Amino acid sequence: MRENQGRTAPHSAFGSNVVSKPKGLSLRASVSTAEGTELDAIRKYSEVVPDTVIFDDFERFPPTAATVSSSLLLGITSVPKGSYNGAIDSALAYNKCYVENSGERLSCFLNKALVNVGAELVKSVPGRVSTEVDARLAYDTPGIVNEVHELLRMYDEVEVPRDRLLFKIPATWQGIEATRQLETEGIQTHVSLVYSFAQASAAAQAGASVIQIFVGRVRDWARTNSGDKDVDAALASGADPGIALVTKSYNYIHKYGHKSKLMAAAVRNKQDVFSLLGLDYLIVPVKVLLSLKESKADLEDKYAFARRLSPSTAQNATFSEQEIQKWDQGTFAKALGPLAEDLLRRGLDGYINNTERVEEHFSKIWPPPNV
């Protein structure tokens, strides 16, 4: 998530975060455009999601879905008397969390706070709300499954329908195995921190409902690092490594009949958008959205507005025997590559840091005066 100077809002499960005004909550939004703009032309092929944590941006782009995360909770707690502070206060008064072990108590408070905020967001958006699973469990399959079951139990208590929920799980092997089990149970998952074809295809094989790839982060890594086989191959062919990863993953999902929807995050500019037309979800910075909205579409420019990704063209894609194999932990680890290993580790470190900051804050304000 980016640093911001102004009023902030929740971030999106499919894109940006939004609350009553802090940072951290992801909100997927539908964008109203006048006919004839570039944005209007693009939305014929892909759902566009504003990538922002500035609350005022959602006045212009009303959210249709959201992600609730530790980052969002930090944003909420930074705004005294904000709209979602009551959800935090009631989480700290949840008596089922009043256990002797302080670590278990704080973890329970964290989960209850995520659920309380998530339940409020479900009332505010027509789409699904994705709830972040504790990243400290990233390498613990039973731990992730148990955590999701506990979150679901809490959502059931406040009568949130399960079809309105996703659970955001990191793309470690253990996270993907947890995804497989949860999807078998009918629980929808959102696999994130995907930086390699091995992660994307393994998540698709596991039946993930949504798979999120960070296009710009892949490109950034490639500019300052080398030695990753897939990145080197993309660069040698003249392709952008981030665009190439999304394209390959999309083609794999559609050629082999997987149900997963694919999302591109960290989209940086108009050319990224044009290069990924047809993808299920495009998470686009507001400054790029505004440029697209203010630009008249030249529909004679068939290159700019041609659909690049479609289920039919995916049938022409070719894959090696290794790429279409059923992944196991050993082959997955070998195929991950230095880029994915590096960015996955960094992403997990960031999530864990946010989680521990939230718990530290809760430890300072609990017990409340009447407890």
Q: Which residues are catalytic?
A: 168
Reference 193, options 29, 342, 24; nearest CA is 342
Q: Which tokens hold the place of 188?
A: 């929808």
Question: Is 19 within 8 Å of 10 (Cβ atoms)?
Answer: yes
* Three-class DSSP category at 181: helix
Q: C-alpha angle with apex 163: 161 to 168, nearest 5 degrees?
A: 105
- Phi, psi (rounded to 5 degrees) for 47: -80, 125
DSSP letters, 188-212, are: -EEEEEE-SHHHHHHHHHTT-SEEE
Q: C-alpha angle with apex 169: 164 to 175, nearest 5 degrees?
A: 135
- Phi, psi (rounded to 5 degrees) for 330: -70, -50
Question: Is 251 within 8 Å of 311 (Cβ atoms)?
Answer: no
Distance (Å, whole) CA 258 – CA 262: 11
Reference 76, options 87, 68, 84; nearest CA is 84
